[in-house]
Amino acid sequence: MNIEQLPIINLLLFLLMALVIPLLKRKPFKITLILGFIVLGLVLISSSYLLWHVNNKGVIHYTFGGHEARFGIEFIVDPFSALFTTIIAGLAAIIYIYSSGDATEGIEKTEYGRYYVLLFILLMSMFGILYTNDLFNTYVFIEILSITTCAIISIKRKKDTYTSAFRYVMMNELGSLSYLFGVALIYMATGFTNITLISESIQNAFVSYPVNIVVALGFMIIGLGIKAAIFPFHIWLPDAHSAAPSTSSAILSAIVIKVYILVLVKVLFRVFKLDILNEMNISTILLVLAGVAMIMGSVFAIAQKDVKRMLGYSSVAQMGYILLGIGLLSFEGLRAAFFHILSHGLMKTALFLSVGEIIFYKKTRKVNDFDGMGFIMPVAMGVFSIAALGMIGIPLTSGFISKLNLGVAVLDQNQIIFLVILILSSLLNVIYYLPIIILAFLKNEKYRYRLKSIEPTPRTMIAPLVLLGVLIVVVGLFPNQIMVFIEAAVNSLLS
């Protein structure tokens, strides 16, 4: 087995697992769970190995069927894709362990197997998006990702899931078609769909057919922006969160929308290189969108009464931070954005998983009902508090480091107004996260009769939460190890 075949083996493992699950329908469900965990573990090990390999030895190219890059599909494993596939595999493993507890609430028993089928296909498509070096292949994987995410969100048989899922499908289709139109325009101008070949000929194409490239750029930014929940196009996100089970919310908010931002980064920096972007003033557009997202996301979040919708709007604001880092179009900015992708993934997963546990046991979703929750479910609320403090930006958490890096990156490009917006949005974050923590740990007079004992939760649900809490603090204290990988990824994008 060649090292070059590892990426495709990852994808195949996921696909095979997804195929095998319906076959195991008669067996007890535990076997499926254990098998899935083994597969995830194998993929995580192989991704980490790939990460080490590409950072020390060199980039891996794999072409399907041996056809050369011009006609076939090429997979590239470089520091950028290796880093993010490892992060995704890690987060997915944690969420998977969590979901194997009783937290798939609201889903009927017969649907459990289908849920996991969808989950594995979703993971396969995410890996595919990150590895592939071909624009149209990206489109195919994006579509697979869209459908499986829609399905994973609307898996509950409740009334409000259907309208939210419909809106989600509608917006996602608009986004995908815009993206495809952009690919078509680029293909028209350059004649290739392979990213490396396009990047070599984009300058000539820009000189000869400027309208094509410009319109393609516009369509792609908006199309991917819809899917990544950037401010005016974030419409589907809060509804989707309020309707979905908690594990799906965690996957959606922490992993899926990040993958779309990563596609945007890949397209911007590898297809249209920095010269075109600077000429077209894309930086201003992205920065304005990011600034608006940071403020408006938090303003809407303050007004929400359902805790999951609030977390959804909080995700919109955080995607604004990431877009701010990307929109600076510099080394520092990308580095801060990538670090924030990691840290926000950890924090949002922790938030959604702990909220899921609370909703499962207490059957309540309103923010006002969190009174005294800290005494009934201390681990869940403790991890929620650590993650919420991280979102606010208290030191000792990873959120603080990402704010520090973003601040320095913003100053590097002389955009001081965005430093002010950054601090302002941190203040807005305080307004809606702090009351929950205070309510949970201090005000327990209303529900004194409920304070019988600490709710027993299965170990499979507590262990991932504790692991996430520890990771948030560790990454907050010693970020340098991860920064090495992130800087290698940024260098591979910018060179």
Partner 1 sequence: MLKFPKMKIFDSMVKSNSYLVGLSMFLLLYFIAFVGNWFGINQAIVESSGFLNLLASSWVDYLIVIIILIPIVGAIIELKYGEKSVKHRDKSVIYMGFLTLVIIVLMYPIILNKTLSIEIPQVFSIGLTLRIDMLGYSVLLLSAFIWFFVMIYAHEYMTHEKKTTRFLFFLGLTYSSVIGAICSGDLLMMFIFFEIMTITSYMLVIHGQNEQSYKAGYNYIIMGLIGGFLILTAIILLYFNIGDLRFASAIAKLNTLGNLKYWIMGLLVFGFGIKAGMAPVHVWLPRAHPVAPTPASALLSGVMIKIGAFGIIRVATSYYFPSQDSVAGINDPLWQAATNIGAIIIWAGIITMALGVFLALQQANIKKMLAYHSISQMGYIITGVGVALYLGYEGAMGFTGAMYHIINHALFKSLLFMIAGVIYYHTKELDMYKLGGLWKKLPFTTITFLIAALGISGIPLLNGYISKTILHHGIVEATELEHPIFFYAEIIFIVVSAGTVCSFIKMFYYVFLRKTDNEYKTMVFDYSSLDIAMWSMAIIIVLIGLSPNFILKSLILPILNTTTYDPYFVEHHIAHMNVFAGKDLLMTLGIVGLGFVIFILGKKFNLFHLHLPKWLSIEYLFFLPAYIIMRNICRLMYGDRCPMDKDDFSKLTEKDVEKIGFIDRFIVTTNVFNRRYEQSIIRSDAIIYTSFLTFLIILMLITKL
Partner 2 sequence: MWLDKIVENINYIGAIALFVIGLRIVVTHSNLIKRIMGINIMGTGVFLFFVAIGNVTGGVPPIINPNVDDQLFINPIPSVLILTGIVVVVSITVYSLSLVVRIYENYKTIDQKELSRLISEENDEH
Q: Which residues bind partner 2 (CB under 8 A)?
A: 71, 136, 139-140, 143, 146-147, 150-151, 154, 159-160, 162-163, 165-166, 169-170, 173-174, 177, 180-181, 184, 187-188, 193
Shortest reach from residue 142's CB to partner 1, in Å: 17
**Nearer residue to partner 1 within complex by CB, 1 or 211:** 211
Query: Rounded to an integer, what distance in angstroms lies between the CA atom of residue 55 and that of residue 67?
Result: 26
What's the one-letter identity of residue 259?
V
Q: What does 143 interact with, of partner 2, partner 1, none (CB < 5 to 8 A by kind)?
A: partner 2
- Is residue 271 within a helix (H) or strand (E), and if so which, with residue range? none
**Nearer residue to partner 1 within complex by CB, 144 or 434:** 434
Q: How far is CA 162 from the centre of its chain?
A: 23
Q: What does 184 interact with, of partner 2, partner 1, none (CB < 5 to 8 A by kind)?
A: partner 2
Shortest reach from residue 399's CB to partner 1, in Å: 12
Shortest reach from residue 190's CB to partner 2, in Å: 11
Q: What does 177 interact with, of partner 2, partner 1, none (CB < 5 to 8 A by kind)?
A: partner 2
Q: What does 370 interact with, of partner 1, partner 2, none (CB < 5 to 8 A by kind)?
A: none
Shortest reach from residue 460's CB to partner 1, in Å: 29
Q: What does 404 interact with, of partner 1, partner 2, none (CB < 5 to 8 A by kind)?
A: partner 1
**Nearer residue to partner 1 within complex by CB, 36 or 476:** 476
What's the one-letter identity of residue 182?
G
Q: What does 403 interact with, of partner 2, partner 1, none (CB < 5 to 8 A by kind)?
A: partner 1
- Interface residues with partner 1 (CB under 8 A) are 167, 170-171, 174, 178, 210-211, 214-215, 217-219, 221-222, 226, 232-233, 235-236, 239, 279-281, 285, 299-300, 302-304, 392-396, 400-401, 403-405, 407-408, 411-412, 419-420, 423, 426-427, 430-431, 434, 438, 442-443, 476-480, 483
Query: Rounded to an integer, what distance in angstroms lies between the CA atom of residue 165 and that of residue 323?
Result: 25
Tracing tokens 């009464």 back to the chain, one arrives at 305
Q: Residue 54: how many CA atoms within 13 Å on its side-chain side?
A: 30
**Nearer residue to partner 2 within complex by CB, 45 or 188:** 188
Q: What is the CA radius of gyration of the chain?
A: 22
Strands (E), 189-315: none
Q: What does 150 interact with, of partner 1, partner 2, none (CB < 5 to 8 A by kind)?
A: partner 2
- Is residue 351 within a helix (H) or strand (E), and if so which, with residue range? helix 331-362
DSSP tag of 458: -
Query: Rounded to an integer, what distance in angstroms lies between the CA atom of residue 418 and that of residue 408?
Result: 11
Q: Tell me which residue of 193, 198, 341 sits closest to 272, measured CA to CA.
A: 198
Shortest reach from residue 392's CB to partner 1, in Å: 7
Shortest reach from residue 279's CB to partner 1, in Å: 8
DSSP tag of 109: G
Query: Rounded to an integer, what distance in angstroms lies between the CA atom of residue 88 and that of residue 92?
Result: 6
**Nearer residue to partner 1 within complex by CB, 9 or 285:** 285
Query: Rounded to an integer, what distance in angstroms lies between the CA atom of residue 217 and that of residue 88?
Result: 27
Q: What does 37 interact with, of partner 1, partner 2, none (CB < 5 to 8 A by kind)?
A: none
DSSP tag of 453: S
Q: Tell me which residue of 494, 356, 332 sits closest to 414, measured CA to CA.
A: 332
Query: Rounded to an integer, what distance in angstroms lies between the CA atom of residue 227 and that of residue 225?
Result: 5
